Structure 1
Amino acid sequence: ALVDNIWTRFNGYKLDNGDKCKTFACRFSKPKKSSERKENVLFEKFRITSKHPTIDCKARIKITWLIVINIVRIERVRV
């Protein structure tokens, strides 16, 4: 079974014949480094945030709904 809480939608499109295609990326991927705190900002104005390490997760899947022949195809996308 597909675990839906690990995937976040990356992009998608719909074809003229009604077929749909959506690409999902791993939710754990974090390509950018977290920003640093700005100087000269009052302590009361700070937001409570936590930094997460940068993770290079390149897992992606593509789900295609073929409406005409009533098939759902799930395939791995190589990045």
Structure 2
Amino acid sequence: MDTFEHSLNTLFEQLGLPGSDSDIEAFVARHRPLARAVTLPNASFWNQHQADFIREAIEQDSDWTEWVDQLDAMLRH
């Protein structure tokens, strides 16, 4: 049984990015606002691995989807 709880912090770590709250706030501030016409996986600031991970999380409605959606909302507002 998978007992690992995902969070925004662990999403960032999964993406190979620093996952502290302050690091996440800095990332969002640096990349906001994300244009409405750009889907999150197609944002220019991801490398190929990161974009693929985000795309697969969305397509497969994985355990990460909630956190990917939260990040998307944070980048747009």
Give yes or no for TM over 0.5: no
What's the TM-score once normalised by structure 2's chain length?
0.19
Q: Which has the larger radius of gyration?
A: 1
More helix by share: 2
What's the TM-score once normalised by structure 1's chain length?
0.19
RCO higher in structure (CA 8 A, sep ≥6): 2
More strand by share: 1
